[in-house]
Amino acid sequence: MTDTLLTNARIVLETEVIDGTLVLRDGHIAAIEAGRTSAPGALDCEGDHLIPGLIELHTDNLERHIEPRPKVDWPHRTAILAHDGELASTGITTVFDAMRVGSVISNGRDDYRKYARQLSRELFDLRATGVLRISHFLHLRAEVCSETLLEELAEFDADDRVGILSIMDHTPGQRQFRDVTKLKAYVLGKHGGNEADFEAHLANLRGLQDRFGAAHEAGAVEAAGRLGAVLASHDDTTAEQVATSAGHGVRIAEFPTTEEAARACHGHDIAVMMGAPNLIRGGSHSGNVAAEALARADRLDILSSDYIPSSLMLGAFGLADLWDDLPRGIRTVTAAPAESTGLADRGRLSEGLRADIVRVGRLDGTPVVRGVWSQGRRVG
């Protein structure tokens, strides 16, 4: 194969930025050279930054594509392709596609139905054709407040490339929605309904926790081990909850809701992941701790785009500006998520690693993606 040469670039390494040239060969980084090259066919990056491809650990974006409006079921193949292309366009070259497991079937509604097993098969089928632009893993979001969690988890096995399994407990009045008025605004705003509908929703979730909570939590921990998945907690709020997470073997804390919880996570060597939208907006839409506060306190390790793919790049450069340290900001969306999930072949610009590369310029401070390579193949 012909080498790809990216020259006249500011190359962001783990702890420094150098002016130089990247050589890509056979899907890997073949060389990192200081200075410019005049070799024929070299792409002049015009002083833009070259960074590793972004690694997204938690995104609801695929769910948004398969259900763009409540109760609208969009054709899944088209949705997967659109999701894949959108992520590539924002500089994401590895994604852990979040899919909920655990459904509620006894209330007669269809807005909390089972879908993960079928959708993941459709994703695998497309991946096998080679049509997808970026690398896809699964992130199973195990919902404790459900009726079918254990049955749905049993449908997955070690061949399903489940990279992360997160334990979610959306019982009202704790974790993400300690303030039930915030939950009410979210539920009624998304699904509609009235006061009586919301009160019935609260009673149902609390009942599910009472009936299934302990068994579902234990089953999720067991499933993570069986699947070879990294275990994550979700919305830890107190030091006690973090201690429980640590006892389960959790390695990633998704969106801890308080500084107390984030501090406790670091005490247990659990990486703290926060949402880039929280950082960019200046606070949590649920009224929980601001990502910026954790960043300033050195309690933030990983960023996730959560529900806005383009926020990942914007958030990384925002952290770089906040810390006055570009390599450190970029690490939160590259090396840190790679290390937390055991992906030793990506997340850094180093000879021999995957040629997942993003060319980024800046327009009045805003990062602009100007080129994306996944395993050396240009995809954006």
Q: What is the pLDDT of residues 30-42, one digit of tens each?
A: 999 999 998 999 9
Query: Does 369 map to a domain?
Result: no
CATH of the domain at 156: 3.20.20.140
Query: Does 164 map to a domain?
Result: yes
pLDDT at position 186, please? 58
Q: How far apart are alpha carbons 93 and 27 in whole angstroms? A: 13
Query: Does 19 map to a domain?
Result: no
pLDDT at position 221, please? 97
Q: What is the pLDDT of residues 217-272, one digit of tens each?
A: 999 999 999 999 999 999 999 999 999 999 999 999 999 999 999 999 999 999 99
Query: Does 8 map to a domain?
Result: no
Q: How far apart are alpha carbons 293 and 182 in whole angstroms? A: 21
Q: What is the pLDDT of residues 149-194, one digit of tens each?
A: 999 999 999 999 999 999 998 666 455 556 656 655 555 555 556 6
Query: Does 39 map to a domain?
Result: no
* pLDDT exceeds cutoff 80 at 322: yes
Query: Does 148 map to a domain?
Result: yes
pLDDT at position 353, please? 98
- Domain span at residue 63 reads 53-342
Q: How far apart are alpha carbons 138 and 98 in whole angstroms? A: 6
* pLDDT exceeds cutoff 70 at 116: yes
What is the average per-residue pLDDT within 116-121? 96
Query: Does 360 map to a domain?
Result: no
Q: What is the pLDDT of residues 121-149, one digit of tens each?
A: 999 999 999 999 999 999 999 998 888 99
The structural domain count of the chain equals 1
Query: Does 182 map to a domain?
Result: yes
Place of tokens 């990384």: 316
> Please, are residues 58 and 96 in contact by the beta-carbon 8 Å criterion?
yes
Strand partners, 355: none
* pLDDT exceeds cutoff 60 at 312: yes
pLDDT at position 315, please? 98
The total of other beta-carbon atoms located within 10 Å of residue 121's CB is 13
Q: Which residues contact 17 (CB under 8 A, 6 or more apart)?
A: 10, 11, 49, 326, 327
